[in-house]
Amino acid sequence: MSLDASRVILGTYGQVFIAGVWQTNFNHLEANVEIQKKELNLAGDPWVRHKKGAMKGTGTMSGFKVTSDMIARGFDKFSLVSKLNDPDSYGFERITLNNVMLDKLQLANWTAGEEVKEEVAFTFEGYTLNDPIRGI
């Protein structure tokens, strides 16, 4: 059976929530978790084995500048919720990023005659898959 193309999720329906408030100005969100693996060389085993180590969460969000909310937030930690809800998909997905902290504050970045864009890099400490999308 081939993929039903209508079930492919479009980022058009992505939303970012901070403290329960939809951040309508952000139109891009990326969050990743990397794991540090410890290499183990065991006697009598020709394979290098791996043990899970520490994890690191990083991300960026970007969009249009409409408020000074990110500057006012400063470097205080907060929770962020990513939501994908394409009406043609098998459901919606919500992921909460915990202990989000900005890497830097963009205080000014503008050019006359152009819309002002805002890019925010951050780290986070843990996540919860609140609502997974499940196929049929």
Whether 89 maps to a domain, the answer reads yes
Say how far apart CA 24 and CA 73 lie, in whole Å: 17
Q: Among residues 125, 134, 128, which one has the least CA distance to residue 82?
A: 128
pLDDT of residue 136: 65
Whether 46 maps to a domain, the answer reads yes
Whether 15 maps to a domain, the answer reads no
pLDDT of residue 36: 95
pTM of the model: 0.85
pLDDT of residue 127: 97
Q: Among residues 30, 43, 3, which one has the least CA distance to residue 120?
A: 30
Whether 115 maps to a domain, the answer reads yes
Whether 9 maps to a domain, the answer reads no
pLDDT, one tens digit for every residue, the chain (136 residues)? 787 777 787 778 899 999 999 998 999 999 999 999 999 999 999 999 999 999 999 999 999 999 999 999 999 999 999 999 887 777 788 999 999 999 999 999 999 999 999 999 999 999 999 988 887 6
pLDDT of residue 45: 95
How far out from the chain centre does Cα 112 lie?
31
Whether 21 maps to a domain, the answer reads no
Number of domains in the chain: 1
Please report, as a single letter, which amino acid is at residue 123: T
For 74, the domain range is 27-131
